[in-house]
């Protein structure tokens, strides 16, 4: 069984055709959005599809410019269990921009904590340590760090807090990504495409390509843990426990 916890459905051309294929192939997909005002569009697209769920998002790189969208986020909070893309990004950001991001992310965490049962897919580029400590050890809900690229020390902290990590194909091809995959326990690994921001031979990834990523993760793990058999089903089991109350 395949799944994808972070896919930008609304940025893909012919997304209706793709939706139909995902449904036929029973690929569970979380369709993230980048601003609260964009949620309804994706919510409508997903209507009637059993395997695709829209996520309410507020991308950190848009947070400062669209501060007033926080009230829309609050209004829409009950429309989905899935939240993302949210987070922090401190790659070449002005200090005011990053401060706004932190204010908004902190409000989003509070809004989600009140509900208690949300699943959050989170961007953390160059802000990993701060972001992990903002979420903390007792967040009521599930946390997925998407395309994590921080230190192994911060990764250990996140693991001790019970967070999951979603891995995409690009991560399986980079030195740092391989190091991160190597350090993750098998039971914390989820899959994402982050399409269309990831590509293979110039074709953007979609959830249809999940199997390629699974094979690459297994290859990397086998090199490190010396090849006891790794079942591909381990990842889907992680996805099931993400959705469950555990």
- CB nearer to Zn ion: give 4 or 216: 4
User: In angstroms, rounded to a whole number, what is the distance separating the alpha carbons of residues 65 and 194?
Assistant: 23
Q: Which stretches of the chain bind Zn ion, using CB under 5 A? A: 85, 194
124 vs 221 by CB, closer to Zn ion: 124
Rounded Cα distance, 246 and 6, in Å: 21
How many Å apart are CA 227 and CA 67, to the nearest integer? Answer: 49
Q: Compute the least distance from the CB of residue 170 to Zn ion, in Å.
A: 12
Nearer to Zn ion, 154 or 192 (CB): 192
Residue in the block written with tokens 């059993």: 50
Least distance CB 137 / Zn ion (angstroms): 25
Q: How far is the CB of 229 from Zn ion (least distance, A)?
A: 32
Please, which residue, 168 or 218, has the CB nearer to Zn ion?
A: 168
Q: Which is nearer to Zn ion, 100 or 195 (CB)?
A: 195
Question: 123 is written with which tokens?
Answer: 């961007």
Residue 87: which H helix or E strand, with range? strand 82-87
Could you give the dihedral angle defined by the CA atoms of residues 21, 25, 29 and 35, in that order, rounded to the nearest 10 degrees? Answer: 0
**C-beta of residue 183 within 8 angstroms of C-beta of residue 152:** yes
CB of 123 to Zn ion, least distance (A): 6
Length of the chain: 246
Could you tell me the smallest distance in angstroms from the CB atom of residue 124 to Zn ion? 12
């Amino acid at each position: 069984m395949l799944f994808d916890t972070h896919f930008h459905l609304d940025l893909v051309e012919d997304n209706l055709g793709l939706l139909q294929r995902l449904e036929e192939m029973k690929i569970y997909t979380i369709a993230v959005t980048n601003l609260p005002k964009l949620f309804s569009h994706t919510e409508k697209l997903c209507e009637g599809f059993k395997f695709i769920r829209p996520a309410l998002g507020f991308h950190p790189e848009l947070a400062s410019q669209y501060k007033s969208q926080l009230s829309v986020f609050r209004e829409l909070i009950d429309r989905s269990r899935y939240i993302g893309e949210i987070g922090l990004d401190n790659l070449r950001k002005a200090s005011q921009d990053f401060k706004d991001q932190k204010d908004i992310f902190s409000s989003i965490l509070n809004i989600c904590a009140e509900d208690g049962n949300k699943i959050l897919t989170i961007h953390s580029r160059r802000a990993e340590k701060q972001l992990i400590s903002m979420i903390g050890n007792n967040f009521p809900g599930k946390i997925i760090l998407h395309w994590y690229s921080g230190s192994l020390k911060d990764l250990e902290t996140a693991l001790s807090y019970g967070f999951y990590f979603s891995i995409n194909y690009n991560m399986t091809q980079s030195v740092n990504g391989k190091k991160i995959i190597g350090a993750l326990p098998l039971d914390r690994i989820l899959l994402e495409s982050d399409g269309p921001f990831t590509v293979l031979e110039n074709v953007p990834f979609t959830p249809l390509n999940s199997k390629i990523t699974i094979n690459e993760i297994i290859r990397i793990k086998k090199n490190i843990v010396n090849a006891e058999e790794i079942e591909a089903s381990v990842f889907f089991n992680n996805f099931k426990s993400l959705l469950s109350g555990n």
